[in-house]
Amino acid sequence: MYRLLILFLLGWTVNASAADIPTDSVLLRGLDKTTGRVKTFEAKVGKATSFGELTIVVDKCLKRPVDEAPENTAFLTVEETETGNSVFQGWMFSSNPALSAMEHPVYDVWVLECEDSASKIAPIQTVASNITTETLDEQTLAEIDD
């Protein structure tokens, strides 16, 4: 009887975690293996985004609540732009990109972070924002030193 109660309590505590938070965009990083260039770019959920010869559509992007271990999970569909061949379709995880990696001879794409455009904070205007600077010539610098 006690064993059954303990198993029930263990199962209940494992399932008591908070739900992931859906977001409207994802920050991706792409690598062009031929040139060695890395590009960080944003993709909106439900809209096609291009990276090199790839078309990427993010179907869903989920972020864990602040009080849990950080994890960003996105469901991506990646196709070659010209041929329409499917390159990848599935979930990618920011904490472990190799767990579900895209296999392509030229490009690598992985998830960095799920973002919500409503939560992005605009820069705050301060007095220091309005300060202008000018370059001083050597004569003026010499006068200041004296």
State residue 136's pLDDT score.
62
What's 41's DSSP letter? E
Could you say which residues of the chain have pLDDT below 70? 1-18, 119-137, 140-141, 144-146
State residue 66's pLDDT score.
85
Helix (H, G, I), strand (E, B) or coil at 101: coil
State residue 144's pLDDT score.
66
State residue 109's pLDDT score.
95
Instruction: Check: CB of residue 30 under 8 Å from CB of residue 52.
Output: yes
Cα separation, 103 vs 110, in Å, equals 11
Cα separation, 60 vs 69, in Å, equals 20
